[in-house]
Structure 1
């Protein structure tokens, strides 16, 4: 799916079917390639002399980066979404690569899937957003990247909600489902960390004025996106600490539960230890044992064993072993 539009403050917005004609038109040219196959990506790249390695990076889903080429700058970021399953804690961070090529008077966005951020800014251009129409392609690229990064906060909000649920579940249950939920959140945070860190480095290149295609007055907008990414990285590290804390609480709860069981079993074994000794003594096959000839010997031994058990049980309760 390839669409091309040319816009400016004076000429408004005009749609083109011919990519070469759109490139030569006056104003800012934006070519949006979304939900596309390899042939469509190659066709757009050929029309704007974009290096084939750019298409390779978008298709092969490499790590985010910013790379300057002759006449344009290529920035690869990833659109992220927290995709939920049927279960409460069944979720996964779904990331789709988005390539943004910024030229002198054109911008090309490349994606193999539908990208919400690109669609939102495209709709704003079609509605005649004055800020977009009055500024160049570097500002359009900034708006796309800004929306992509804003969606990261939505993902982290979902992760935070799950961590809060897990913390409540840890205190109520030590089932295997709780441990699986903790591992799921930790896995999501690890995947998101691998996405956020290189994205921050990629945006820093655009924010510090190293790119010719980004005007000086637009750099402050990229710096704002970079600062948002710094906050995203900090939140990821904070939530990873919370997930580790939830795992530690879970393990401590399981250990405490096991200790309680072992304590009860130990008390029971200790109660039967002297009783077993008495039963063993009177179970010896000696002919001359005075108590064996006593008429009430059996009842006396049983009563003595019961009293011994009661005394020991009272002692254990007094010492708070039970």
Structure 2
């Protein structure tokens, strides 16, 4: 079994939250066997595992809670594409959590993304986080303080809240993309350079990767909102439809950003071309001004014996005056034509 989740993972941490409308308990598990009595309790149990290495703990949880071997394999293999699989008694969902790398000023780096897997059953939810982000802290606070409907609903509402937290985090990523695009637009107008072109290509690559990550959400959330599994109650389907609307909005925004970045590439090429045209125009004007001056200098540089101007006392200053006059008249003409 390939275990990519073992790479770079920190020490595992298991958190257990058990609740119903009137009772609540939360504790950090030191021995995985402490989770086992909660399998058949009538209350709602949420087991969250931070870190996938060593794999023995996810495997023990999976074996005791009756998870299919393919589920365990997909949990430990963190190269999974976002997906949903129905195993009758369990619903398996894989999503990707993304972070913005402030040092590299990018989104998609191995250090700032993680796979999060969910198992939904009739009375419990198990989540496996590759690196243990704090994206679910608000959910824990809502359960603890009985905020909203979460304590009155079942495990299907809990997994809705967890998925919704991940989807909402994508809006923060899109906000960062928007800021980068706005900065690039200003740079394109003021001073486009080769580094700008490289940044555009990197941004385009990141948007393609973001699209590949988020596009499967459309199918996942769509299936949950249509009630294709009995583990999702009809009363909860409407909440997944709300996530579905957010997903469509995110995808539309990504497509808009991709079009903007593609147009920025055209703008860059046009700006560079215009800049080159301005340089060529100036050089052409300078060369044009010097053509008659070169002709005059060349004419009197022949030094033929019977050239009467060679004997003039004022010949040199007169020729210089003629050359300055010709150059001045040409500059005035170019300005009137708005070529300068």
> TM-score, structure 2 length as denominator?
0.84
Deviation, structure 1 residue 10:
5.3
- Answering whether residue 48 of structure 2 is matched by residue 36 of structure 1, we say no
Within-5 A mapping of 1:15-54: 18-37=34-53, 38-54=55-71
Within-5 A mapping of 1:239-258: 239-258=257-276
CA RMSD of aligned residues (A): 2.4
Q: Count how many residue pairs are aligned between Structure 1 and Structure 2.
A: 319
Which SS does the other structure have where 1:133 is aligned?
coil
Which SS does the other structure have where 2:293 is aligned?
helix
| Deviation string, structure 1 residues 123-178 (Cα, Å, up to 9, x no partner) | 43333457333322111100100111111111112221222222233333224444
Gap change, CA 1:12 and 1:309, over 3 Å in 2: closer
Gap change, CA 1:135 and 1:300, over 3 Å in 2: same
Contact 2:92–2:117 at 8 Å: present in 1 too? yes
* Comparing 24-33 and 98-107, the one that deviates more: 24-33
The match for 2:237 among 204, 219, 222 is: 219
Counterpart residue number, 2:90: 72
Counterpart residue number, 2:14: 2
Deviation, structure 1 residue 43:
2.2
Gaps of 5+ in 1: none
Runs of 4+ in 1 over 6 A off after TM superposition: none
CA distance in 2, matches of 1:251, 1:64: 37
CA distance in 1, matches of 2:73, 2:279: 59
Counterpart residue number, 1:307: 325
CA distance in 2, matches of 1:121, 1:160: 27
Contact 1:5–1:22 at 8 Å: present in 2 too? no
> TM-score, structure 1 length as denominator?
0.89
Which SS does the other structure have where 1:32 is aligned?
strand
CA distance in 2, matches of 1:39, 1:313: 83
Contact 1:76–1:97 at 8 Å: present in 2 too? yes
Gap change, CA 1:280 and 1:55, over 3 Å in 2: farther
Counterpart residue number, 1:190: 208
Counterpart residue number, 2:177: 159
Counterpart residue number, 1:275: 293
Deviation, structure 1 residue 119:
3.3
The match for 2:278 among 251, 260, 284 is: 260
Which SS does the other structure have where 2:136 is aligned?
helix
Within-5 A mapping of 1:280-295: 280-284=298-302, 286-295=304-313
Gaps of 5+ in 2: 1-12
CA distance in 2, matches of 1:129, 1:36: 30
